[in-house]
Amino acid sequence: MNRRRVLQASSVLLAAPLAGCSGELQTFSSWKAGQQAVLELLFSEKLVQGSPWNLSQVLQHLAQSIEFSMQGFPVLKGTWFRSTLGSAAFAVFNARGAMSHSLDEPIPGAPALDASQTLKTSVQRLLDAMDAFANFQGTLRPHFAYGELTKPQYERAHLMHLANHWTQFQAKTATA
């Protein structure tokens, strides 16, 4: 059996028990809840732990992901990866209602994140991307790793992505 068939078979075996399962989202239960959390960053700024990115850069990264779902990702993993391992990874994340990924890894081929961009500008960009996605009626582009996703699947992926990055945030407190 060749490598491609082994990968396809393993992804089918991994995803099959999860096919009808959609775990409850662990942090943001709705698009509106995600938008509200983003907006609240303007009133209770957070620090980012364990990342070379500042808060503004994390928000730019999240906006890029949503924008690319509508425009197309600059670089896609190979077709075999997206249809096997990538789709299996999404199935696992979807089933448990939470995603885990490297929190300092840029989207392949995405423009560099601007460390000097203001928080207000980054919050607005992410909210604009979220509004554009909510109102989007066109054909969504394949995810660079997960492949083809429906709009509800993409919404869950974006909310899980948002929640995964939220784990890095801690309240900014005054020090004496």
Place of tokens 């554009």: 132
Amino acid letter at 172? K
Residue 142 lies in a domain: yes
pTM score of the predicted model: 0.84
Q: Examine the pLDDT at 20 and tell me if it is beyond 80.
A: no
Distance in Å from the first CA to the final CA of the chain: 65
Structurally, the chain folds into a number of domains equal to: 1
Residue 5 lies in a domain: no
Residue 6 lies in a domain: no
Residue 125 lies in a domain: yes
In the chain, DSSP finds a helix count (H) and a strand count (E) of: 7, 2
Q: What mean pLDDT do residues 57-77 have?
A: 98
Residue 126 lies in a domain: yes
For the chain, give the percent of residues with pLDDT over 70: 83
Residue 67 lies in a domain: yes
145 Cβ partners below 8 Å, 6+ apart?
A: 77, 81, 82, 86, 89, 90
Question: What are the tens digits of pLDDT across the range 80-128?
Answer: 999 999 999 999 999 999 999 999 999 999 999 999 999 999 999 999 9
Residue 131 lies in a domain: yes
Task: Identify the domain containing residue 96 by its residue range.
Answer: 31-43+52-170
Residue 18 lies in a domain: no
In this predicted structure, what is the pLDDT of residue 44? Answer: 87
